[in-house]
Amino acid sequence: MGGRRALVTGGGRGIGRAIALALREAGVRVAVGFRVDAEAARTAGEVAIQGDTADPGGAGALVEGAVAALGGLDILVNNAGILIRRPLLETGADDWQRTLAVNVGGYFHVAKAAAAVMGEGGCIVNVSSASALRPSPGAGAYAVSKAAVSMLTRQLAWELAPRRIRVNEVCPGLIETDLNRADLARPDFRAGRLARIPLGQIGCPEDVAGAVVFLCSEQARLMTGASILIDGGAAIG
């Protein structure tokens, strides 16, 4: 994959950081989009660009910055997202709108801007969630937003196929990151979640990164509109 150029949103920590580092190891030149932690973003990619993906202008600036720094764009990994842990019917209007704006709107805005500058052979990978397939305890708005990402992935795949731009998604299950580390520190929460996973194991960000690198590679050249579950078998439980 040497010589290819990628933008990873939310690449300064957690899953996004692991993806950015794995792409770099595969020979890809990587720009990392971040909103808060500039130093973490710089250590994950050779270029760090600040921007809010929920804002169309900010999303466009991220892509423009990546293209300017890397000389073009071949790969986009949509990863920037938020998780507000609250039952759906207890979610306020502001939290609902913000969740959809970042987790769905952000993916749309960045993908639209990236597709406009990608040539044939481009690749978009959306980081969705296993929560897109089944209700998520205490995280209703998040689950709804990730279900929307799955359809966004398929719609983009359909519309961009004539241009030979592939669009796929990965759906991580329980992966320990900054978003859920406090919850997983509670023994009752951790035990309850592990009980739903046939393999009985919590994942790490690197488990997701390998699947993303595969989807960006020529080994996945016939894959578009596809979802890869990385959930320890939770979806079959």
CA nearest neighbour of 204 among 184, 189, 227, 226: 184
Residue 180 has what pLDDT? 82
Residue 40 has what pLDDT? 78
Q: Which of 142, 150, 152, 173 is catalytic?
A: 142
pTM over the 0.85 mark: yes
CA nearest neighbour of 147 among 167, 171, 168, 124: 171
Residue 206 has what pLDDT? 96
pLDDT digits (tens, 9 = 90+) for 91-128: 999 999 999 999 999 999 999 999 999 999 999 999 99
pLDDT at 1 over 80: yes
Residue 86 has what pLDDT? 92
In percent, the amount of the chain with pLDDT more than 90 equals 84
pLDDT at 37 over 80: no
Residue 138 has what pLDDT? 87
- Judge whether 209 and 19 are in contact, CB under 8 Å: yes
pLDDT digits (tens, 9 = 90+) for 196-220: 899 999 999 999 999 999 999 999 9
Residue 39 has what pLDDT? 83
pLDDT at 178 over 90: no
pLDDT at 137 over 90: no
Residue-averaged pLDDT of the chain: 94
Neighbour-count burial for 82-99, b at 16+ CB within 10 Å, e otherwise: bbbbbeeeebeeeebebb
Is CATH 2.20.25.10 correct for 5-229? no
DSSP class of residue 4? -
Residue 147 has what pLDDT? 97
pLDDT at 48 over 80: yes
Residue 163 has what pLDDT? 97
Dist. CA 226–CA 197, nearest whole Å = 22
SS (H, E, C) the chain: CCCCEEEEECCCCHHHHHHHHHHHHCCCEEEEEECCCHHHHHHHCCEEEECCCCCHHHHHHHHHHHHHHHCCCCEEEECCCCCCCECHHHCCHHHHHHHHHHHHHHHHHHHHHHHHHCCCCCEEEEECCHHHCCCCCCEHHHHHHHHHHHHHHHHHHHHHHHHCCEEEEEEECCECCCCCHHHHCCHHHHHHHHCCCCCCCCECHHHHHHHHHHHHCHHHCCCCCCEEEECCCHHHC
Note if 142 is an active site residue.
yes
In percent, the amount of the chain with pLDDT more than 70 equals 100
